[in-house]
Amino acid sequence: MSLSTDTRSPYPGRHRPDDGVPVRVLVPCSVDERHQPRALEVYRELVDATRQEAGCLSYELLQRMDDATRFVLVEEWKSQDDLDAHTRTEHFVRLVAELEQLEKAAPAELYRRVL
């Protein structure tokens, strides 16, 4: 998972102050088949813990139908502040560090609804 655990800037591209608008995050990654059993265990723990956090509207891991090694983590947060708080949780820091050893990930992409 290409998410920085640096608490100064947990996600690249944050240029606006938090305005209370929901934030969606997409984190594409690939996991070699030999690492998938452990990666899925780690993701399961991350998803379960994260869904309990204040401000988490949704948090799910999707697998591509035509390529079992490709995944995308899809998140929705009530606000940028909630997302920032998530990246400082113990479970996020610990589990992302392990995932970084098991997968190849692209940088996280942040989106907000415009229409």
Domain boundaries along the sequence of the chain: 23-111
**What pTM does this model have?**
0.84
- With 90 as the cut, is the pLDDT of residue 12 above it? no
Question: Could you tell me which residue, 10 or 34, shows the higher pLDDT?
Answer: 34
Handedness of CA 1, 14, 91, 72 (dihedral sign): negative
pLDDT in tens, 56-78: 999 999 999 999 999 999 999 99
Is 47 within 8 Å of 96 (Cβ atoms)?
no
113 — pLDDT class (breaks 50, 70, 90): confident
Q: Which amino acid is at 3?
A: L
Q: Which class would CATH give 23-111?
A: alpha beta
- With 90 as the cut, is the pLDDT of residue 25 above it? yes
- Side-chain-side CA neighbours of 113 within 13 Å: the count stands at 8
